[in-house]
Structure 1
Amino acid sequence: MGGITSAELNFLVFRYLQESGFVHAAFTLGYEAGIHKGGIDGNVVPPGALITIVQKGLQYIELEANTDENDEEVEKDFALLEPLEIITKDVEELQQIVKKRKRERLQIDLEKDKGKETECIEEHEQHPGGEREREHHDKEKEQEREKDKTERDKAQEKEKEREKQHTERTDKLKHEEDSLASGGPTPMDVSTGHEIFSTDVTVLEGHSSEVFACAWSPAGSLLASGSGDSTARIWTIPDGPCGSIQSSPTSVHVLKHFKGRTNEKSKDVTTLDWNGEGTLLATGSYDGQARIWSRDGELKQTLFKHKGPIFSLKWNKKGDFLLSGSVDKTAIVWDTKTWECKQQFEFHSAPTLDVDWRNNTSFATCSTDNMIYVCKIGDARPVKSFSGHQSEVNAIKWDPTGCLLASCSDDWTAKIWSLKQDKCVYDFKEHTKEIYTIRWSPTGPGTNNPNQQLLLASASFDSSIKLWEVEHGRLLYSLAGHRQPVYSVAFSPDGEYLASGSLDQSLHIWSVKEGRILKTYRGSGGIFEVCWNKEGSKIAACFSNNTVCVMDFRM
């Protein structure tokens, strides 16, 4: 029998829990921490660690079932549920079980108190002056009974109030689900649009694990993909229409990140980026190494210096520097002429999650330490420090002109910053869960689409995408077409369309002008990234079922 990797086991457990109804952030974020943010010491989270994540998630659900937002103090002993019940029932059913068992426990306690009371009376009757003591005792017990009755009445009232609030919350959630179509300030159509059928999609097969990243070359019809199978691939996509009846790609180059048949240490590919000319591809891996490949799949250079997984890699526009950010808390600028470390920036106190160039010599970094730093090659200290997020900052992106920096965080907010001030210019708080990624539109002054307004898109674990109009800092649309966390969004090159991919296995293409879905493709796995080719005529998406899909876009 063939074995399965820890990553495959992790994903099987993760998908089993999701399909069983467990969509709590405790599971999603736990899995994300292992799969996409490097795990422990550069390795994918092993099965034992994933079990710990699951246990913590189950404990959270049990605690959630045993308390609510009005409790002043969380009961320490909340083990009122059996493991099988936690696995097989949802939170509402668990809450009812806990309430029932609490009432049973209360009844048992009352019966015990009554028994103690009888024993106490009998004991007093055996002593001299028992009548007087009995009267005194009866008076005390009567007062205690009145006190118990008052407390029970209060408990019953509190229980009724909890049930009322639970009903109100349930009704509110149902109302919110029913009114998703009006999720933003502007009414919008959340119909799924025209279906893109599988016969019109080219499915690229070959990876043996989840595909985390994909990127079109800025020159030619090459598509790169990076996977948990410790390989990246460069696919040649034919110019003709996509579809299952078409011939397979003319060629594919497999970029192996290990030597030999087996992989002793995880080298899963976490990130990749083409240089501006499309002649070189950079890949980042869990093993902490950056690798440079030719468009023909030849390994040109391996860059050693990071001591932890690389989460982000970006070429500058000129192509003379490559920037990498790592879990080792640092960012490194590599000189692409000599492939030596030009400068290592050690400002963060926790893993660096994302990096982005502002121009050819300055850039920004963000981290799980909640901080954002703007750095410049040659400077020993940050040019600017931005603090304001209350949790880890997942992504940062400079606008097309390099004037504004957008950030998003697990604190449910997206913010826009300017080098001209310390506090954020705008603080967007309309999301209700963690925001995973952000993207600027390729529009506004200084772009190829100067007559269109500049927009920012944010994608969240709350299953929504929000479009922000940046000039006045207002919400333009709340796009509510997905049913699970949205991991990726991408604007078309002309800025008129937005593609989004979610764990709900759906890829939506939205009209930016109208805020509605135009086309939908339903795959058979969660989508980690979507991207457009430079002409805006094809869209690629990478999936958790080990495939990459390419489809045509025509309106």
Structure 2
Amino acid sequence: MNFADENFELREVQRLEGHTDRVWGLAWKPATGVDGVPAVLASCSGDKTVRIWEQSSASGSFQCKAVLDEKHNRTVRSCAWSPSGKLLATASFDGTTAIWEEVGGDYSFVCTLEGHENEVKSVSWNASGSLLATCGRDKSVWIWDVLPQNYFDCVSVLQGHTQDVKMVKWHPSMDILFSCSYDNTIKVWVGDGDGDDWYCVQTLDESNSGHTSTVWALSFNASGDKMVSCSDDLTIKIWGSDITRTQSGEGYAPWTHLCTLSGYHDRTIFSVHWSRDGIISSGAADDAIRLFVESEDGLVDGPTYKLLLKKEKAHEMDVNAVQWSSTENRLLASASDDGTVKIWDFGPKTGQKKV
């Protein structure tokens, strides 16, 4: 997609209402929204529920198809689909992670994963769906083996952060886990090959151009050689790694700081997400959404990124999550303290030629 001109817009398609408290997290179901399969989105909230929204193939509008409730007794902070789209994991402030299974359009409760001492803040599946990671306020990161018959076994508890862990995220193609925390750091974890012994191979902090305050979220580009992170320090940082070296078995290739984007949000940046065609979205406590792309006139010493679009007052309150769909039509979902989820369409401004 050519971003040389700036004649793009983020158009609100639909406002999804139904949650009765702030909406914390979003997850698009894999392999939906393409080849005639309706797009499906999960949202989780302070109202202790998860809602499943499905797009009508006829009208294009989203409707609530299911409400997953009664399994969490506090805020549901994070939700994530397995790569197959068959399982949904939901992480809650009640200290548990629930697993749900979709069969024929219906969602049934499978099991509860327990062990964290208090609030579970984030949940993430690896690329193959064989591992699940959770993290929480107890400063720990847990790795679970996903076994046949939907049985889950905790294989490792990682103690490395000194504060609340805000997010865990698997690399899109390798079994390398990333965690970010209230302690201002991002930690990178790898296994010993047997899968039971995990250790921290790198910490991204202020000493290597990292964040100076809470790191809230991170995301990877499509190829997995770049990562974006966001923070309470009001910056967005881009990181890079020679993943070809890591994949070839030549040893771990460390992540290095490439550039910092600052001055675009004036309150905490809670969420970043990198679309498959290279657009970084950010959502913040200033109620705004920003979109960034790599600049074609990048410097010799590394890539630079430019602001592509800014959407003021995207919500009436804090924007807690932004999430691109994997569909061709570039839908962006956002979630807010105002209790709503919004669906946005990104494209050329009205009257502009589509590129």
Which of 460, 483, 506 aligns to 2:266? It is 483
Give the direction of change, closer, same or farther, for the CA distance of 1:483–1:532 in structure 2 (3 Å limit). Answer: same
Higher helix share: 1
Counterpart in the other structure of 1:289 = 96
Question: For the residues of structure 1 that align with 2:266 and 2:186, how far apart are their CA atoms?
Answer: 31
Instruction: Tell whether 2:241 aligns with 1:458.
Output: no
Question: For the residues of structure 2 that align with 1:344 and 1:474, how far apart are their CA atoms?
Answer: 29
Give the direction of change, closer, same or farther, for the CA distance of 1:330–1:321 in structure 2 (3 Å limit). Answer: closer
Which of 188, 194, 209 aligns to 2:21? It is 209
Give the direction of change, closer, same or farther, for the CA distance of 1:510–1:368 in structure 2 (3 Å limit). Answer: closer
Q: Any conservation in 2 of the 1:469–1:476 contact (CA below 8 Å)?
A: no
Moved more, 230-239 or 218-227: 230-239
Instruction: Tell whether 2:311 aligns with 1:520.
Output: yes
Counterpart in the other structure of 2:288 = 506
The Cα shift of 1:281 comes to 0.8
Instruction: Tell whether 2:249 aligns with 1:442.
Output: no
Which has the larger Rg? 1
The residue type equivalent to 1:529 in the other structure is A
Partner deviation per Cα, 1:412-448 (whole Å, 9 max, x = no partner): x3x8xxxxxxxxxxx125x6654433333223xxx6x
Counterpart in the other structure of 2:51 = 233
Instruction: Tell whether 2:135 aligns with 1:325.
Output: yes
Counterpart in the other structure of 2:69 = 256
SS in 1 for 2:128: coil
Q: Any conservation in 1 of the 2:21–2:46 contact (CA below 8 Å)?
A: yes
Q: Any conservation in 2 of the 1:193–1:517 contact (CA below 8 Å)?
A: no
Question: For the residues of structure 2 that align with 1:322 and 1:378, how far apart are their CA atoms?
Answer: 16
Partner deviation per Cα, 1:170-196 (whole Å, 9 max, x = no partner): xxxxxxxxxxxxxxxxxxx9xx97664
SS in 1 for 2:344: strand
Q: Any conservation in 1 of the 2:235–2:260 contact (CA below 8 Å)?
A: no
Which of 539, 543, 546 aligns to 2:332? It is 539
Give the direction of change, closer, same or farther, for the CA distance of 1:517–1:349 in structure 2 (3 Å limit). Answer: closer
Q: Any conservation in 1 of the 2:26–2:43 contact (CA below 8 Å)?
A: yes
The residue type equivalent to 2:232 in the other structure is F
SS in 2 for 1:298: strand
Partner deviation per Cα, 1:363-386 (whole Å, 9 max, x = no partner): 455666779453447566544454
What is the aligned-residue RMSD (CA, Å)?
A: 3.4
Give the direction of change, closer, same or farther, for the CA distance of 1:464–1:368 in structure 2 (3 Å limit). Answer: closer
The residue type equivalent to 2:168 in the other structure is V
Greater RCO, CA 8 A, separation 6+: 2
Give the direction of change, closer, same or farther, for the CA distance of 1:459–1:301 in structure 2 (3 Å limit). Answer: same
Partner deviation per Cα, 1:429-469 (whole Å, 9 max, x = no partner): 5x6654433333223xxx6xxxxxx4432323243334456
Give the direction of change, closer, same or farther, for the CA distance of 1:325–1:461 in structure 2 (3 Å limit). Answer: closer
SS in 1 for 2:111: strand
Give the direction of change, closer, same or farther, for the CA distance of 1:349–1:318 in structure 2 (3 Å limit). Answer: closer
Question: For the residues of structure 1 that align with 2:345 and 2:285, how far apart are their CA atoms?
Answer: 22
Q: Any conservation in 2 of the 1:268–1:285 contact (CA below 8 Å)?
A: yes
The residue type equivalent to 1:207 in the other structure is H
The Cα shift of 1:306 comes to 3.3
What stretches of structure 2 of length at least 5 have no aligned partner? 33-38, 243-254, 297-305, 349-355
What stretches of structure 1 of length at least 5 have no aligned partner? 1-188, 241-245, 260-265, 388-406, 416-426, 448-453
SS in 2 for 1:554: strand
Give the direction of change, closer, same or farther, for the CA distance of 1:513–1:458 in structure 2 (3 Å limit). Answer: same
SS in 1 for 2:148: coil
Partner deviation per Cα, 1:49-77 (whole Å, 9 max, x = no partner): xxxxxxxxxxxxxxxxxxxxxxxxxxxxx
Partner deviation per Cα, 1:348-404 (whole Å, 9 max, x = no partner): 4756624344577664556667794534475665444546xxxxxxxxxxxxxxxxx
Counterpart in the other structure of 2:322 = 530
The Cα shift of 1:276 comes to 0.7
Counterpart in the other structure of 2:148 = 337
State the identity as a percent: 26
Question: For the residues of structure 2 that align with 1:226 and 1:315, how far apart are their CA atoms?
Answer: 17
Question: For the residues of structure 1 that align with 2:214 and 2:260, how far apart are their CA atoms?
Answer: 18
Partner deviation per Cα, 1:99-154 (whole Å, 9 max, x = no partner): xxxxxxxxxxxxxxxxxxxxxxxxxxxxxxxxxxxxxxxxxxxxxxxxxxxxxxxx
Q: Number of aligned pairs?
A: 306
Higher strand share: 2
Which of 251, 258, 274 aligns to 2:81? It is 274
Question: For the residues of structure 2 that align with 1:500 and 1:486, how far apart are their CA atoms?
Answer: 7
The residue type equivalent to 1:324 in the other structure is T
Question: For the residues of structure 2 that align with 1:553 and 1:223, how far apart are their CA atoms?
Answer: 17
Counterpart in the other structure of 1:374 = 190
Give the direction of change, closer, same or farther, for the CA distance of 1:433–1:385 in structure 2 (3 Å limit). Answer: closer
Counterpart in the other structure of 1:314 = 124
Question: For the residues of structure 1 that align with 2:55 and 2:119, how far apart are their CA atoms?
Answer: 30
Q: Any conservation in 1 of the 2:182–2:214 contact (CA below 8 Å)?
A: no
Counterpart in the other structure of 1:428 = 209
Give the direction of change, closer, same or farther, for the CA distance of 1:357–1:368 in structure 2 (3 Å limit). Answer: same
Give the direction of change, closer, same or farther, for the CA distance of 1:507–1:356 in structure 2 (3 Å limit). Answer: closer
Give the direction of change, closer, same or farther, for the CA distance of 1:238–1:332 in structure 2 (3 Å limit). Answer: same
Scaled by the length of structure 2, the TM-score of the pair is 0.73
